[in-house]
Amino acid sequence: MLPKVLTMLPAFLAYFAVAAALITAFLLVYVNVTPYDEMALIRQDNRAAAISLGGTMFGFALPIANVIAHSDTLLDLTVWGAIAGVIQILAYLVARFMLPHLNEDIPAGKIAPATFLAVLSLTVGLTNAACMSY
């Protein structure tokens, strides 16, 4: 058992590192697309920012996890991760269209719009993950 784990460890570390890099890159892009500073709001105990960003992160992580489980290469993971990121950004833009005051509501701490954005992100992420079947 231990020798098998040791032989698989480099692949695990490589996939984990690429996934961590994708998540970090996605978060950097996402927080620059939104007009408010989620991290500053979260530090101020703004639950709406935490809910919306948490849902978005999880919505992005779902397809990443699926690709890791089913892909053959790190290139697959990287390409599908980029696609997942674009889809999540589009989900945010749809939420902004559906809720025109979203950009004011999140900084104001309004939970309902934040919850809607989080659930939309999760729904899109789950659907996205299912579409990335091999």
Stretch 50-71: mean pLDDT = 96
Distance CA 131, CA 78 (A): 16
Q: Which pLDDT score, from 0 to 100, does residue 134 have?
A: 63
Model pLDDT, residue 71: 87
Confidence of residue 133 (pLDDT cuts 50, 70, 90): confident
How many other CB atoms are there within 10 angstroms of residue 120's CB atom? 21
Whether 63 and 122 have beta carbons less than 8 Å apart is answered as no
Residue burial 55-75, b: 16+ Cβ < 10 Å; e: rest: bbbebbbbbbebbbeebeebe
Structural tokens at position 36: 């408010």
Please state, in angstroms and rounded to a whole number, the distance separating the CA atoms of residues 21 and 130: 22
Residue 64 in contact with residue 16, Cβ under 8 Å?
no
Q: What is the pLDDT of residues 23-58, one digit of tens each?
A: 999 999 999 999 999 999 999 999 999 999 999 999
Task: Supply the pLDDT for residue 4.
Answer: 81
pLDDT digits (tens, 9 = 90+) for 74-115: 999 999 999 999 999 999 999 999 999 999 999 999 999 999
Domain boundaries, given as residue ranges, for the chain: 10-131
Q: How confident is the model at residue 6 (pLDDT cuts 50, 70, 90)?
A: confident
